[in-house]
Amino acid sequence: MTRRICCSVLLLASGLLTLASCGGGGGGSGGSTARSARTGVRLLHGVLDIAPIELVDGSGAVKQVVKFADAPLYIDSATGPQNFEVLARERGPLFFSPIEVERNRHYTILTYGNLSSLGIGSAIFEDAAADQPLESGTANLRILHSLVGAASVEVSLGSGNIAPTSFGRASDYLSLPAGPVSAAILRSADQRVLATLSLILEEGRAYSIFLTGDLNYLTVARLLTDN
């Protein structure tokens, strides 16, 4: 299962930034093939109206710079209590994110919300462990939901469904047969199709669908590799 470590919300009094694009849905067909740290943290930027954000460690070093809807790798982290800070360029600190980092574990810091009405929230999730074995012939899949305009979403798959997942949260992992998978992401309230994806899941791997954006402007759905 996915373990949520903590979450917070920061309300910012600021006008909505001008958006250059509207409408449409997005999709992706695969996770990153580059190598992530075996023990590490990644920052996901799910706030459409904020410029790139930075992940800063306890020493003040910038460990990661992430654009909206990026698919970053995990950056290496020492084990034990770690104090990370999330900064927005031209805005300053957004959050402090303390994490108790364990060896061979991966963690995701998810940012979500908007400047105009919801404020900016963050949540920290413990992802699939780098050394966690899966049943032969299977892969794990979950969804990370930061799409404004959908209070809850679910994922329809050929061999199972990911249960409704609230905004700013992650679903549990669902075990699926490895190989090609077709996924339709639906808004729970009215079963509106938000995005469709054609995925190829490798045996023994764990993945997240990162759903983000704003339903009135831009919807992005992409596959991330978690282990």
Q: Give the ranges where the chain is alpha helix by DSSP (H).
A: none
In which residue are the tokens 């996915």 written?
2
Angle at 8 between CA 163 and CA 225, to 5 degrees: 50
Within-domain flag for 17: no
100 token code pair: 């108790």
147 membership: H or E segment, kind and range: strand 138-148
Within-domain flag for 204: yes
From CA 74, how far away is CA 108, in angstroms rounded? 8
SS3 153: strand
Q: Is 41 left (phi over 0), alpha (psi -120 to 50) or beta?
A: beta
Within-domain flag for 180: yes
* Dihedral angle of Cα 70, 124, 20, 116, to the nearest 10 degrees: -170
What residues make up the domain containing 30?
A: 3-12+26-225
Structurally, the chain folds into a number of domains equal to 1
Within-domain flag for 162: yes
CA distances from 83 to 6, 27, 31 (A): 13, 33, 28
Within-domain flag for 19: no
In which residue are the tokens 């023990």 written?
39
Question: Taking the mean position of all CA atoms in its chain, how far away is CA 131?
Answer: 21
Within-domain flag for 206: yes
Distant-in-sequence, close-in-space partners of 6: CB < 8 Å, separation ≥ 6: 97, 98, 123, 124
The domain that holds 153 is classified in CATH as: 2.60.40.1120
Within-domain flag for 21: no
CA distances from 192 to 47, 98, 163 (A): 22, 37, 15
Over its length of 227 residues, how does the chain's per-residue pLDDT go in tens digits?
556 555 544 333 222 222 222 333 444 444 444 557 889 999 999 999 998 999 999 999 999 999 999 999 999 999 999 999 999 977 788 888 899 999 999 999 999 999 989 999 999 999 987 677 888 999 999 999 999 999 999 999 987 899 999 999 999 999 999 999 999 999 999 999 999 999 999 999 999 999 999 999 999 999 999 98
Within-domain flag for 7: yes
First to last CA, the chain: 14
The model's pTM: 0.85
9 membership: H or E segment, kind and range: strand 3-10
Question: Taking the mean position of all CA atoms in its chain, how far away is CA 38?
Answer: 18
From CA 150, how far away is CA 4, in angstroms rounded? 20
SS3 47: coil
Q: What are the b/e assignments for 99-111, b being 16+ CB within 10 Å?
A: bebeeebbbbbbb
Q: What is the pLDDT of residue 3?
A: 60
